[in-house]
Structure 1
Amino acid sequence: MKYFIYCRKSTESEDRQVLSIDSQLKELQQKFTDPSIEIATIYRESFSAKAPGRPIFDEMMRRIEQGHADGIIAWHPDRLARNAVDGGRIIHLLDRNRLKDLKFATSSFENTPQGKFMLQIVFGYSKYYVDSLSENVKRGMRAKLERGWQPNKPPTGYKNEAEHRTIIPDPETFPTMTRLFDSAATGLYTVPALQRMMRDQWGFRTPRCKRTGGRPLGITSLYHILSNPFYAGYIRWNGQLYPGKHKTVITWNDFERLQVLLGRPGAKKPQTNTFAYTGLIRCGACGLMVTAEHKVNRQGHKYVYYHCTRHNVGARCKERSITSRELERQITESLYSIYVPANAIEHALNAVKASQDFRSTSVEPQRAMLEKAIRTCDLRLRAVLDMRERCLIDDQDLISRRAIIRRESIGLHEELSKLDQDVRWFEPVAATVSLFSRAAVWFMAGNDTIRRIILTTIGSNLTLRDKILNIDKVFPYSMHHDSMSFLSLCRLVNDVRTRYIARDPQILTLIDSIETLEKLLPDDITKAA
């Protein structure tokens, strides 16, 4: 039987204790020496598995689909999947007999219903480990904040002190920050004047890192520094202020007076003019944001023009401006390019629903098995507590056994929750896929707020170059093509369903945006579309 060897180690903290790729490969080659095991290809990948999208793993799965190998050899199941989508793909290939066997250095696997059930539990625990690791990191960051230290890289003028894990003034840049705030607090200089003074008279350059730094400080960065409460002894984190223990540059009272001088006391001022697409589009030539302004021509007609902000240090951007009318024409044209008739979408949704309804007959036995396993975990937990009460085990043994049982129970509850999600998928998936037919109609009928939401829902990385707007469409709208058949549309619907069941953050954000649009749009428009 032919096998692929797959070795993976992430560069992130989730795999800190895992063997290196070479060590994994060495162990696998030493363990699996049976002549009946034919190694077709060895795959090595340095990529996190906490979300779908590993290129080498996807290539391996594609080749298994094509029949190039019958099994996979890996050091541990969590090398293959730490997310529900990839774990589900492996189980699905086993169900279809495209994948006939899995071999692991740390455990055994049998391609039986019980074996696949245990494999799902292992995959579920791997996902739980990654999720809980994220929570532990957040908890550690909150603890550091409460101790008075910023948990990430400190701003210009400070540096991390490794030995005591504190923040201390940077001897190279701290004096300049003190001089900057002293000059700004006098009220004699505008921010552009301070920027020129730092660049031309003080010779200040940003601290050099691997790929950045060594350049004059920009206007925007200077505003961020002067409005950062860190320099006055407070750490801003998730919209809240925490008292810090680091050395300050300016007192809090002087800092508040400085914000008044800058025109930024308290909350931000509301903008006098609001434009639909400012803050969304970058200049394709220089990378700065595109802004907008009102213009009046000789005949007295008013126009809105979008152009590069051009507030860069050095040479000005030469990109020409574009009218809002032309910009919206291009957006509408892009939305029509992904159009799929509503009746075709309805047929595809119904076809996938019928297929899933047929498969759902097997859900109840699986639900019963999971509920039974959960009850067993509860009984085991009570038995362990009873053993401790009778002094048959000590506290350390109790803690260890209880942790193992609780991890199993959490994994089982996650699997049970996934089954429930599998039943309630239709409406949110239908709303997501129906945007193929609705987006252009809603855009033309909507106000600036609605148009902005539609654009950010369907597109990303918007750039304007030579008066042409480029929109990188997000999944599933990026999958549209002119020769889209009914089968490919069904596959697309099923892919969205799979990601929704796996609680893919991008799909969940999409659904939230579409729900917001449906609330903002009049009923006659939503029904007509």
Structure 2
Amino acid sequence: MPMTAAIYARQSLDKTGEGQAVERQLSECRRLATSRKIRVVHEFIDNDVSASKGIRPEYTRMLSLISAGEIDTIITWHTDRLYRRVRDLVDLVEVAEKHALQILTVKAGEIDLTTPAGRMAAGMLGHVARYEVEQKGARQAASNVQRARNGVWQFSNRPYGYERTMDGVQVVAEEAGIIREAYDRFLAGESLYGIVDNFNERNIATTTDRPWSISTLSARLSNPAYAGLRFYRGEEVAVGDWEPIVPRETWEAFKASKRQRRKPDSWSNRTKYLLSGLALCGVCGGRLMARPDYVRGPSRARRVVYACSSKWCVQRDQTRVDELVEEVLVARLSQPDASRLLKPKVEVAPCMNAPMTSGAGGTIWRRHSRRVFCPLQR
């Protein structure tokens, strides 16, 4: 019976977007298929996708077709195009054993995952690939530190006010003027909101051709690179080798002014109210959101209410509602059967056997050839 094959090609990083490395893989894989007289019915390509992290849509689709019995052979340039993680190899072995899958590679020969020797060879190749990835990561991290200490600025997305040329990082004069204007206006007492609103009225776009937002402008002005400073992981390590847009004093003054303007009730994404976004309106079913409300009368006292965010049907005093909910919860958890509500849905029987190893966080036990982690009781 003739083999029904699929070619799989992958490249982790495609800087040019042209997929040249993928095309080279496909060309060699096609030659291998021709020499072996194998009929190729599918070609799966994951370009600019890492095998060590993230989702590979074409690889997942290929496995589904293998499981459906439509493919019995994979042709790839090397096994590291298929997998770099042990858990990916485990999934591939399970599919291979169920469907008699054959794997042919241009550089590593034939891999038979249905035999112990084939699985051992695949595992060794996987560990070698993983080692190469980790070594590359370690070298890259060391290189990043060295460049930072030398004052070199590495960036993938062009920062507003600068561009990379053959001569290094250069100032974009028009954008630099906008950055200086923003610093000056903020230090003169104007709010970020007012500056952003003005920039958008003047149709001043960001580097991505989008309108300015408060968070975008705040992040830009907080960037020490505008003062010619090289930071690495939050710490100053060197003076940059590029031209600063503003003096260091201006950048420091911006940070100090920003801290002074922050109020205790400034906006944040922290949860402040018990039911905001969780409670539902009894009239229309919309979500109730916490918002400020002012009591009628001379005092104009401020309070917080839960208000229907859909049709503004109802609003309820936040303090009184939270107190009621807390009282109900405390009363329910005070009942004799409350412990069953909080009982974890896990198997605890393995904790009765002898421990294998112990540590500060708990104990690992073995039962029925399975490892179970039992946290320490405190």
TM-score, scaled to structure 1: 0.49
Cα distance in 1 for residues equivalent to 2:154 and 2:249: 25
Q: CA deviation at 1:53?
A: 3.0
Count matched residues. Answer: 318
For residues 170 and 301 of structure 1, the distance between their equivalents in structure 2, rounded to whole angstroms, comes to 47
The letter for the 1-side match of 2:258 is L
Q: Would you say 1:224 and 2:226 are equivalent positions?
A: no
**What is the CA-CA distance between 1:60 and the residue it aligns to?**
1.8
Report whether the alignment pairs 1:129 with 2:152. no
8 Å Cα contact 1:4/1:43 also seen in 2? no
**Aligned-partner residue type, residue 118 of structure 1:** A
Residue 255 in structure 1 maps to residue 251 in structure 2: yes
Residue 367 of structure 2 is aligned to residue 426 of structure 1: no
RMSD of aligned C-alpha atoms?
Answer: 4.6
Give the structure 2 partner of residue 240 of structure 1.
235
The within-5 A match list for 1:115-126 is 115-126=118-129
CA distance 1:52–1:61, change in 2 (3 Å)? farther
* Deviation (angstroms), 1:170: 0.6
What's the CA shift for 1:122? Answer: 0.8
Contact residue 8 and residue 76 of structure 2 kept, 8 A:
yes
Query: Matches of residues 505-516 of structure 1 in structure 2 within 5 Å?
Result: none
Judge conservation of contact 1:154–1:167 (CA < 8 Å) in 2: no
* Residue type at the aligned position of 2:246: I
* Aligned position for 2:285: none
Structure 1's 37 and 160: CA in aligned 2 closer, same or farther, altered over 3 A?
A: closer
Deviations 1:461-509 (A, max 9, x none): xxxxxxxxxxxxxxxxxxxxxxxxxxxxxxxxxxxxxxxxxxxxxxxxx
CA contact (8 A) 1:28 1:75 kept: yes
Alpha-carbon distance in 2 for matches of 1:322, 1:247 = 55
Identity, in percent, stands at: 17
Aligned to 1:88: 90
Match of 1:205 in 2: 204
Deviation per CA, 1:328-363: give whole Å up to 9, x if none: x9xxxxxxxxxxx9999546x98xx9xxxxxxxxxx
**How many Å apart are 1:120 and its aligned residue?**
0.8
Residues 63/276 of structure 1: CA separation in 2 closer, same or farther (3 Å cut): same
Contact 1:52-1:86 within 8 A present in 2 as well: no
Deviation at 1:168, TM superposition (A): 1.7
Instruction: State the partner residue of 1:7.
Output: 8
Aligned to 2:33: 32
2:173 alignment partner, SS class: coil
| Structure 2 contact 8–59 (Cα < 8 Å) conserved | no
Write out aligned runs for 1:406-425 (5 A).
none
Question: 1:180 and 1:61 mapped to 2: Cα distance?
Answer: 53
Q: 1:73 to 1:426 in 2, by over 3 A?
A: same
Larger Rg: 1 or 2? 2
Relative to structure 1, the CA distance from residue 74 to residue 141 in structure 2 (aligned partners, 3 Å threshold; closer, same or farther) is same
For residues 332-481 of structure 1, what are the structure 2 equivalents within 5 Å? Answer: 346=346, 426-427=372-373
The Cα offsets for residues 153-176 of structure 1, whole Å up to 9 and x where unpaired, read as 453222222x24x32211221122
Q: SS state of the match for residue 8, structure 2?
A: strand
Contact 1:149-1:167 within 8 A present in 2 as well? no
What do residues 127-174 of structure 1 show as CA deviations (whole Å, max 9, x unaligned)?
23233333333333222211213211453222222x24x322112211
Query: For residues 97 and 294 of structure 1, do their structure 2 counterparts lie closer, same or farther at Cα, with a shift above 3 Å needed?
Result: same
Q: Cα distance 1:173–1:319, how it changes in 2: closer, same or farther (>3 A)?
A: farther
Mapped pair 1:173 → 2:169 = no
Please state whether the residue corresponding to 2:42 is helix, strand or coil: strand
- The equivalent of 1:155 in structure 2 is 159
Amino acid at match of 1:180: A
- Check 1:23–1:114 CA distance in 2 against 1; reply closer, same or farther (3 A cut): same
AA in 2 matched with 1:120: G
Letter in 2 for 1:127: R
Q: Deviations over 1:390-435 (max 9, x none)?
A: xxxxxxxxxxxxxxxxxxxxxxxxxxxxxx9xx885328xxxxxxx
| Residue 445 (structure 1) aligns with | none
Cα distance, 1:205 vs structure 2 = 0.9
Which runs of no fewer than 5 residues in structure 1 stay unpaired?
282-289, 309-317, 330-340, 354-419, 429-514, 524-529
More strand by share: 2
Alpha-carbon separation, structure 2, partners of 1:240 and 1:56: 41
Name the structure 2 match of 1:139.
Answer: 142
Residues 1:181 and 1:303: Cα distance change in structure 2 (over 3 Å): closer
Distance in 2, matches of 1:169 and 1:36, equals 58
Give 1:426's aligned amino acid. V
* Aligned twin of 2:71: 69
- Please tell me whether the aligned partners of residues 51 and 82 of structure 1 are also in contact (alpha carbons under 8 angstroms): no
Q: Name 1:367's counterpart in structure 2.
A: none
Quote the Cα distance in structure 1 between the aligned partners of 2:39 and 2:93.
22
Partner of 1:42: 43
Please say if residues 292 and 307 of structure 1, whose CA atoms lie closer than 8 Å, have aligned partners that are also in contact. no
Q: Which has the higher contact order (CA 8 A, sep 6+)?
A: 1
TM-score, normalisation: structure 2 = 0.66
Letter in 1 for 2:164: N
Q: Flag the 1:240–1:319 CA change in 2: closer, same or farther, 3 A.
A: farther
Q: Bigger shift: 235-244 or 36-45?
A: 36-45
Residues 291 and 93 (structure 1 numbering): CA distance in 2 closer, same or farther, change over 3 Å? same
Contact 2:8 2:74 in 1 (8 A): no
Opposite residue 234 of structure 1, the aligned amino acid is L
Residues 116 and 178 of structure 1: CA distance in aligned 2, closer, same or farther (over 3 Å): same
Structure 1 position 75, deviation (Å): 1.7
CA contact (8 A) 1:9 1:15 kept: no
Mark the CA change 1:110 to 1:158 in structure 2 (over 3 Å): closer, same or farther: closer
* Residue 344 to residue 123, structure 1, CA distance change in 2 (3 Å): same
Tell me the secondary structure at the aligned position of residue 160 of structure 2: coil
Residue 54 (1) aligns with residue 56 (2): yes
Aligned residue identity for 2:169: I
CA distance in 2, matches of 1:110, 1:264: 65
